[in-house]
Amino acid sequence: MLFTIFGATGDLTAKKLVPALYALYMDEQLPKRFAVVCIGRRAYNDGVFLEEVREKLSGVYDKWEDFKTHISYYQMDFSNPEAYGDFEAFVRAQPQNESGDKIYYLATAPRFFPIIAKALIEHRLLTRGDMREKIVFEKPFGEDLESAVSYNRLLLESIEESQVYRIDHYLGKEMLQNIMMIRFTNKIFESIWNHENIEHVKIVAYESETVKQRGGYYDSAGALKDMMQNHLFQTLALVAMDPPYGLSDELIKNQKVKVLEHLRVESPIIFGQYDGYLDEKGIPPTSKTETFVAMKAFVDRPRWLGTPFYLVTGKKMDEKRAEIVITFKDSNCLFEKGQPDKNKLTIEIFPREGIILQFNGKAPGLVSYAMPMKMDYCHMCNVMGNSPEAYEKLILDVIHDDASLFTRWDEIENAWRVIDRISKGKQNEPLHIYKNQSEIEAVVRDYWGDKII
Ligand SMILES: NC(=O)c1ccc[n+]([C@@H]2O[C@H](COP(=O)([O-])OP(=O)(O)OC[C@H]3O[C@@H](n4cnc5c(N)ncnc54)[C@H](OP(=O)(O)O)[C@@H]3O)[C@@H](O)[C@H]2O)c1
């Protein structure tokens, strides 16, 4: 198997892709004969590249010396169509190419997707119907609806949908995979999973990092396209979908698409930009790109009539944290004493993977006081010690031709439709500059009250 990474000198390769490939290697999940070809335009050789990657890795890499013999660096400007003749010759000469298994992983900004895909197709490195040849696209797929449609058309004119993997690594996370299990294997949840019982849903994805070295890419995307269009909308689709008629990939995605088709975002949308963003490398001094966005959305389907979904994401927050909080309606409590609270189901995605159910009960003592209490399940503590990283799972799925945790074209298309609409009205909304998490959360509270943040 040949696993080729385009954009391999970037952040993603050292942070996620190499660690995931190493974990699969240690777990003996990779084919016996495999090679990882890392494409970058810098004048590196194998040694310099590997040293740079190794410096960025944290954790234990006992078998690194063995593993690194499978990795090589290939210098190439992948935006130059002329460069692909030599690349084709290089690929065909690789001994690991004997089986014909080739995976092309595009860890690049989306504007490079059509250039690279077209060149691979023209050089017959990616041919229609040959399931040994697959192409993986990092998120976001496209820059807007129009570009996404044109990239998709280009692909499907020449190769099969089953050879295309549009990645959203959130879908590989343990707790995202757990949402359907929690909902559809528990009578106590699914029977009350609707607007009659649920007051509101909150989906949060906070990052503590700034844009770091990724300013050039990030400024053209912003939080709306970098996080909302993919990770948060996909999470929302899993929380809000109706039960599928079966567990096939197609039936599940059909239900998720219905959510995205009926997604309506209410004005105002809150946009923020962290203080200091304009001083970051690669950011134009007058940039109005948002690094924080919060929105109130509705799913106009019978199950969710009138239930708000609050979606919140931002960079340079105090903590990296992702979670889903389902807040249930008041229970018309008969007990006057004490301070019962609403039932809440929290699905923790990061840093802890877990589930917390808040309910009310009697406070200990002689008097009948009601008070909130919690049942707390730590998934990462209890399940096999360590849950696999999302990229590990997703790369393995590509190797095994399993696209169930990848996004289908119509999911992406509908997500872009909503984001495009928001992008068009963005200039009319204020951009709140925030120094820290509490400052921007105060803005959110002003709009929607305490219970949201
Ligand atoms: N970083 C993350 O944590 C993360 C997480 C999830 C998804 N993603 C997605 O993954 C993709 C890549 O992210 P990233 O953070 O790795 O981006 P990045 O750090 O900007 O890396 C992109 C790499 O592509 C290289 N490159 C650019 N133009 C090239 C060309 N013409 N020929 C050859 N190499 C070229 C760059 O090399 P030079 O240094 O020479 O310019 C750079 O090292 C993005 O779509 C992003 O949304 C990233």
Alpha carbon distance 187, 157 (integer Å):
45
Q: Whose CA is nearest to atom 47 of ligand 1?
A: 139
Tally Cβ neighbours within 10 Å of residue 283.
18
Which residues does a 6 A CB cutoff place in the pocket of ligand 1? 7, 9-12, 15, 40-42, 77-79, 107-109, 138-139, 169, 214, 217
Among the atoms of ligand 1, which is closest to the Cα of residue 42?
A: 40
Q: Which of 131, 169, 148, 183 is nearest to 15 (CA)?
A: 169
User: What pLDDT band is residue 387 in, cutting at 50, 70 and 90?
Assistant: low
Q: Residue 94 C-alpha to ligand 1 middle, in angstroms?
A: 25
Local confidence band at 334 (pLDDT 50, 70, 90 cut-offs): confident
Residue 381 DSSP class = H
Q: In angstroms, what is the span from residue 268 Cα to ligand 1's centroid?
A: 33
Mean pLDDT over residues 243-250, rounded? Answer: 93
Catalytic residues: 231
**Domains observed in the chain:** 2-166 (3.40.50.720), 171-448 (3.30.360.10)
pLDDT of residue 386: 58
**Which of the listed residues 78, 213, 217 should we mutate to test ligand 1's pocket, taking the one with most ligand atoms within 8 A of CB?**
217
Q: Which residues pair with 72 in a beta bridge?
A: 37
How far does the centroid of ligand 1 lie from the alpha carbon of residue 10, in Å? 4
d(CA 347, ligand 1 centre) in Å:
31
User: What is the distance between the alpha carbons of residues 384 and 396, in angstroms, rounded to a whole number?
Assistant: 19
Position 374: which residue type? K
- Which ligand 1 atom is at minimum distance from the Cα of 106? 11
Q: What is the pTM of this model?
A: 0.95
In our burial notation (b when 16+ CB lie closer than 10 A, e otherwise), range 117-130 reads: bbbbbebebbeeee
Token code pair at residue 333 = 């409590």
pLDDT average, residue stretch 383-411: 88
Q: What is the mean pLDDT of the chain?
A: 95
Which of 277-291, 325-339, 434-448 is the least confident region? 325-339
In this prediction, residues 305-328 reach a mean pLDDT of: 98
Q: Where are the alpha helices (DSSP H) in 225-378?
A: 233-240, 249-261
- Split at pLDDT 50, 70, 90, the class of 241 is very high
What's the pLDDT at 245? Answer: 93
For range 68-85, the mean pLDDT: 97
Closest approach atom of ligand 1 to CA 15? 3
Select from 86, 55, 83, 78 the least CA-distant residue to 7.
78
Q: Is the pLDDT of residue 184 over 80?
A: yes
- Within 69-118, strands assigned E span 71-75, 102-106
